[in-house]
Amino acid sequence: MYRYDEFDRQMLEDRTSEFRLQTTRRLAGEITEEQFKPLRLMNGLYLQMHAYMLRIAIPYGTLRSEQLRRLAHVARTYDKGYGHFTTRTNLQLHWIKLRDAPDAIESLAEVGLHAIQTSGNCIRNVTADPYAGATADEIDDPRVWAEAIRQWSTVHPEFSYLPRKFKIAVTAAEKDRAAIRAYDIGLHLRRTRDGELTFEVMVGGGQGRTPYLAKTVREHLPAHRLLSYLNAILRVYNRESRRDNIHKQRIKILVNTLGVEEFTRRVEAEYAVTDGADIDLPDTELAAIRSRFHVHAFDARPAKSAAFEAAKAADPEFARFTRHNVHPHKAPGHAIVDVSLKVPGETPGDATSEQMELVADLADRYSKGEARIHYTQNLVLPHVKLDDVPAVYAELAKAGLATANIDLITDIIACPGLDYCTLANARAIPVAQSIARRFADMDRAELIGELPIRISGCINACGHHHLGAIGILGVDKKGEEYYQLSLGGSGDEKAALAQILGPAMPPGQIPDAIDAMVETYLTIREDGERFLDTVRRAGLQPFKEAVYVEAR
Amino acid sequence: MSKLVKRDGDVAWWVEDEFVFVPDEEQVPATGDIIVTMGRLLGEGDALLTSGRRIGVRLQPHEQVENLAYDLPQLAVVELVFAKFRDGRPYSTASILRGRLEYRGEVRAIGDVLREQALHMVRCGFDAFVPADGSTPEEWMAAAHRYRHVYQRANDDRRPIFVERDMIASGLGHNRPDEVEA
């Protein structure tokens, strides 16, 4: 995986000193809270309900074991011994003291971690396919490009005070595991028939109160021109977006106000007069970034593992784990192992310091020292030999990390909600817990099959409710928490926004409503249909009836 | 006369502002260097530019600098207004002025101009500042040099990290990274 060199390290050191200085100036009253706010946000520090929250970047979701161990250490030393992995593949610590923040950040910097641009109106932490470099269905490692974007966008002189936040995601596989069409810019790397690497550039996706899927502005951008094309998009956005209404300042609003044709025309006009030589990385530097990923050599192994098959035959729970949490690897005899942070009844995405340390140890012993964060708030061990999967499973099970529910009904995304977040209208975590408890029977969950539920505590949609096969949005109704259901969304390569089902309901009715929809699905599904497929085929009506008619 | 921080390369010092801003509703004085709005410049440009004194223009954040392309060589100062320090449009304006339009006169930052944004302003090509927070030239330049390296090329002469790396790799720079000049 990518290793920072001396330059990257000095950037982090200087950033740490700068933030220490800015904090000192704030504490001394030299700068106002209004002036300090964007500075601390660009260093990942939010003021929340109870304390400061530190949002630590995990660029393109990739961690070395020593970095994961350091996250555990920082969570234990400066917080309450646990952290929350987010849909942006960041780690949030929710109980930080402002005076401790520079020390926490300095500790992170020692292992090449940081909180740079995890918040604020700038180019945020870049995300990528969590299976990058491991999955067979990619044509190149998208993290090379994500890292190029990270460098270009870090402390960018022109694009650090944008109208609003700006998020970029990259994939190089046809199966979209990074929800790229929900991003301000989604990038899909492909190879043309004559072998050239090109990006499909999609712009203007986003969730929040006005959700949009990103629209294609360039079908085949030569990959080595990526940064100059991004520069053109950002410049058009920075200059032409509204700045008079915070709810209308994302690029999705500009794209949809101008229309994608006119927006594209403006970007292309800017790009036509952009001097790429000033911006694009030379091929030699791209190659150098690639080499700093230290691509692993995988042992030649037989595609089938006797030990793996024997364990499957001997232990039905392990067999279940392999059905849901183990995925094909590009190297024969290897597997990608998903580590679920969705124990029914617990907080989705939370991990204790001990759990992080265990995953770090397993990464060292079995996964080439590497772990990943998936935007579904789970962890991944990307490079496990099939022979070793039973041992990994046994270790995970001991730590409560072997829940075999990836993509099942209990693999719920939930934002921190009103338990932590000042923006929230309603709690998300207890709703997720109540649903997961209802479906804790693994046999039933498996019978139901793939069913992504996404819960947000407010319209900002951090819990991706627009992209859930079942989406749940918390709203405030005269001081009471109510929840609005929607159906049919997905963030994959066939991305669609969920449609609202009907009137909102109090939290106590949610598990029954979900149960009623699940029963309807089980009754009317056709062969091989997932819940999402049935909703898209049959429409909302049968589910509406199940929830609002039969329930009475 | 007010003072402003003038910068050349890595050095900055106080200078007296020799220009007077003339709002649209006021008559242009008979003599003296003046700064006018873009509307006035485009309307009365020819008369002003031939009146035997230095002329500058003040641009609001939304105004398109491309409209000035034809007049730029005649202009001594382009003054960009930061309506709010969070409004980042002047960074793009300055970048276009220095880059594509190759403007070599003074690019001045006025309005909500704060030391914590000095680095971005300097890198985008601003070379004169009216700090709203009372920063001295020394404080201003110290803030602009908090980082030993930069990741991207901009309108200053700093080499981006990818060039520094390449120089080391090709043996052109025998500096070790920690000795590379800021």
- Which is nearest to A214 in space by CA: A248, A263, A180, A247? A180
pLDDT in tens, B9-29: 999 999 999 999 999 999 999
For residue A17, the chain B residues in CB contact (below 8 A) are 146
Residue B12 pairs in a beta bridge with B7
The dihedral through the CA atoms of A401, A406, A412, A417 has a sign that is positive
Tell me if B154 and A157 make a contact (CB, 8 A cut-off).
yes
Query: Phi-psi region for residue A206, left (φ > 0), alpha (ψ -120 to 50) or beta?
Result: left
Tallying the residues shown for chain B, one arrives at 182
- pLDDT recorded at residue A235: 98
For residue B148, pLDDT beyond 50: yes
- Residue A405 contacts residue A340 (beta carbons within 8 Å): yes
What mean pLDDT is predicted for residues B85-104? 97
Which pair of tokens denotes residue A459? 């319209």
**Which residues sit opposite B35 in a β-bridge?**
B21, B56
Closest CA to A520 of A507, A529, A528, A531: A531
Identity of the residue numbered A177: R
CB contact under 8 A, A282 and B166: yes
Q: Are A362 and A354 in contact (CB under 8 A)?
A: no
Query: In chain A, whose CA is at the least distance from the CA of B112?
Result: A35
Residue B181 predicted with pLDDT over 60: no
What are A364's two structure tokens? 């060292």
Per-residue pLDDT, A191 = 95
A541, two tokens: 């009506």
Beta carbons within 8 Å of B166's beta carbon, 6+ residues apart: A282, A284, A285, B172
CA angle A513, A514, A520 (to 5 degrees): 90
Tokens of A164: 């609003």
Nearest CA in chain B to A30: B133
Beta-carbon contacts below 8 Å between A and B: 111
CB atoms B91 and A155 under 8 Å:
no
The model's confidence at residue B182, banded by pLDDT at 50, 70 and 90, is very low
Please report which confidence band the pLDDT of residue B179 belongs to, taking 50, 70 and 90 as the band edges: very low
Nearest to A273 among B92, B100, B149 (CB): B100
Count of CB atoms within 10 A of residue B29's CB? 10
pLDDT at A188: 98
Per CB-CB distance under 8 Å, the chain A contacts of B178 are: 6, 10
Q: Which chain B residues contact residue A156 at CB under 8 A?
A: 151-152
Which residues, at least 6 apart from A380, have a Cβ–Cβ distance to it below 8 Å?
A130, A131, A336, A337, A338, A339, A371, A372, A373, A374
Contacts of B116 (CB under 8 A, 6+ apart): A22, A31, A35, A39, B85, B143
User: Residues 94..113 of B with a Cβ closer than 8 Å to A: which?
Assistant: 95, 99-100
Look at strands A215-222 and A197-203 and give their pairing: antiparallel
Mean pLDDT (whole number) for B40-46: 91
- With CA atoms as reference, the chain A residue closest to B126 would be A157
Instruction: Return the C-alpha torsion angle B170, B173, B176, B177, nearest 10.
Output: -90
The residue of A121, A161, A271, A286 whose CB has the most chain B CBs within 10 angstroms, and thus the best one to mutate to test that interface, is: A161
- Closest Cα partner for A410 from A375, A440, A430, A380? A440
Q: Where are the alpha helices (DSSP H) in chain B?
A: 38-49, 89-98, 118-124, 137-144, 161-169
Bridge partner residues of A93 (DSSP)? A54
Predicted confidence at residue B173, as pLDDT, reads 57
The Cα–Cα gap between A91 and B37 comes to 48
Candidates B92, B102, B175, partner chain A, best to mutate (most A CBs within 10 A): B92
Backbone angles phi, psi at A548, to 5 degrees: -100, -20
Residue A14 with chain B: CB contacts under 8 Å: 146-149
pLDDT 10s digit of each residue in chain A, 552 long? 678 899 999 999 999 999 999 999 998 999 999 999 999 999 999 887 778 899 999 999 999 999 999 999 999 999 999 999 999 999 999 888 888 988 999 999 999 999 999 999 999 999 999 999 999 999 999 999 999 999 999 999 999 999 999 999 999 999 999 999 999 999 999 999 999 999 999 999 999 999 999 999 999 999 999 999 999 999 999 999 999 999 999 999 999 999 999 999 999 999 999 999 999 999 999 998 998 887 788 999 999 999 999 999 999 999 999 999 999 999 999 999 999 999 998 999 999 999 999 999 999 999 999 999 999 999 999 999 999 999 999 999 999 999 999 999 999 999 999 988 888 999 999 999 999 999 999 999 999 999 999 999 999 999 999 999 999 999 999 999 999 999 999 999 999 999 999 999 999 999 999 999 999 999 999 999 999 999 999 999 999 999 998 655
User: Distance of alpha carbon A444 from its chain centroid, rounded?
Assistant: 28
Closest partner CB to B88 (pick from A18, A21, A238): A238
pLDDT over 70 for what percent of chain B?
A: 93
Query: How many CB atoms are closer than 10 A to CB A217?
Result: 24
Residue owning tokens 């991990």 = A351
Q: Which of A21, A158, A231 to mutate to test the interface with B (most CBs of B within 10 A)?
A: A158
Both tokens of residue A462?
């951090």
Cite the DSSP H helix spans in A80-215.
101-109, 142-153
Q: Could you say which DSSP state residue A547 is in?
A: I
- How is residue A545 annotated by DSSP? I
**Secondary structure letter of residue B155 according to DSSP:** S
What residues does A157 pair with on adjacent strands? none
ipTM at complex level: 0.94
Among candidates A118, A138, A4, A104, which has minimal Cα distance to A63?
A4
What was the pLDDT predicted at A99?
85
In this model, does residue B175 exceed pLDDT 80?
A: no
DSSP codes, A466-522: GG-SEEEEEEEETTEEEEEEEE--B-STT-BPPEE-SS-B-GGGHHHHHHHHHHHHH
User: Does A159 reach chain B within 8 Å, measured CB to CB?
Assistant: yes
| Burial status of residue A528 (CB atoms within 10 A of its CB: 0-12, 13-18, 19 or more) | exposed
A84 DSSP β-pair partners: A92, A350
As a whole number of angstroms, the distance between CA A32 and CA A136 comes to 52
Amino acid code (one letter) for A408 = L
Q: What pLDDT is stored for residue A517 in this prediction?
A: 98
Chain B residues lying within 8 Å of A161, measured CB to CB: 85-88, 91, 117, 120
> Distance between CA A395 and CA A229 in Å, rounded?
46
Are A168 and B101 contacting, i.e. CB atoms less than 8 angstroms apart? no
Q: With an 8 Å Cβ cutoff, is A321 touching chain B?
A: no
Q: Which residues of chain B neighbour A152 with C-beta distances below 8 Å?
A: 151-152
Sign of the four-CA dihedral A487, A522, A406, A532? negative
Relative to beta strand A91-96, strand A82-85 is antiparallel
